């Protein structure tokens, strides 16, 4: 029963964080009038950034850990085992899961920074270098490119924060010697 409550807590916490983010961004983008601009959320989500972030993060994990280790880490994120003593082998599994989460958070930050730098280079070379003579049109294109570059950096940090929280969740379950 406690595992069911834990799963419910995870789902409620993730849902609360997601909806708070969506409404916070929509409210901020609505301007000073107090309205909500939900269309702005689409400016933060680009599918190629998702592939880049997840591809680099999970590709690096596959290099460092076996598929079975990653599968057990995913399973333990939802059904967390309870070690009975400090000598229980589950402690080693929890520590390995924490290492996987720490590596994933570092890879997510690295991928976000790399993608952001690449997007800035794309803006400078292709958007500014090949921009039109229309000042307003080229300004919009440049600002759009900068928003894309900062959005992928933001998602890299968000993914890193998620895995850092999961790492601390695993570490809190480890039984220490007394």
Q: Report pLDDT digits (tens) over 45-100.
A: 778 888 888 888 888 888 988 898 889 888 888 776 677 766 777 888 888 889 99
Q: What is the pLDDT of residue 125?
A: 77
- 176, 162, 41: which is closest to 102 by C-alpha? 162
What mean pLDDT do residues 131-155 have? Answer: 73
Residue 98: domain span:
45-173
Q: Kindly state whether residues 61 and 14 are assigned to the same domain.
A: no
Q: Kindly state whether residues 53 and 137 are assigned to the same domain.
A: yes
Q: What is the pLDDT of residue 130?
A: 61
Q: Kindly state whether residues 105 and 24 are assigned to the same domain.
A: no
- Write down how long the chain is: 178
Alpha-carbon distance of 5 to 13, in angstroms, equals 12
Is residue 178 a part of any domain in this protein? no
Is residue 162 a part of any domain in this protein? yes
Alpha-carbon distance of 73 to 50, in angstroms, equals 21
SS3 38: helix
46/131: higher pLDDT: 46
Q: What is the pLDDT of residue 133?
A: 55
Total tally of structural domains belonging to the chain? 2
Q: Indicate the pTM of the whole model.
A: 0.72
What mean pLDDT do residues 163-176 have? Answer: 85
Q: Kindly state whether residues 118 and 168 are assigned to the same domain.
A: yes
Q: Kindly state whether residues 141 and 164 are assigned to the same domain.
A: yes
Is residue 31 a part of any domain in this protein? yes
Q: Kindly state whether residues 105 and 141 are assigned to the same domain.
A: yes
Q: Kindly state whether residues 37 and 54 are assigned to the same domain.
A: no
Q: Kindly state whether residues 53 and 31 are assigned to the same domain.
A: no
Q: Kindly state whether residues 34 and 102 are assigned to the same domain.
A: no
Please report which residue ranges of 30-89 form alpha helices under DSSP H: 47-64, 67-78
Q: Kindly state whether residues 139 and 157 are assigned to the same domain.
A: yes
Weakest-pLDDT range from 92-96, 103-107, 154-158, 174-178: 174-178
Q: Kindly state whether residues 34 and 67 are assigned to the same domain.
A: no
């Amino acid at each position: 029963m406690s595992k069911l409550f834990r799963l419910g807590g995870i789902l409620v916490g993730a849902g609360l964080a997601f909806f708070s983010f969506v409404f916070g961004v929509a409210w901020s983008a609505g301007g000073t009038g107090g309205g909500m601009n939900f269309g702005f959320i689409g400016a933060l989500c680009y599918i190629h950034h998702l592939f880049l972030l997840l591809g680099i993060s999970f590709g690096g994990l596959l290099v460092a850990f076996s598929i079975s280790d990653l599968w057990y880490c995913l399973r333990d994120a939802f059904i967390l085992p309870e070690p009975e003593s400090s000598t229980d082998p589950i402690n080693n599994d929890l520590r390995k899961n924490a290492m996987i989460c720490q590596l994933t958070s570092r890879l997510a930050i690295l991928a976000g920074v790399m993608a952001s730098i690449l997007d800035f280079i794309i803006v400078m070379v292709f958007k500014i270098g090949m921009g039109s003579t229309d000042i307003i049109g080229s300004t919009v294109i440049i600002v759009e490119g900068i928003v894309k570059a900062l959005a992928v950096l933001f998602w890299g940090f968000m993914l890193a924060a998620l895995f850092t929280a999961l790492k601390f969740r695993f570490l809190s379950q480890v039984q220490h010697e007394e």
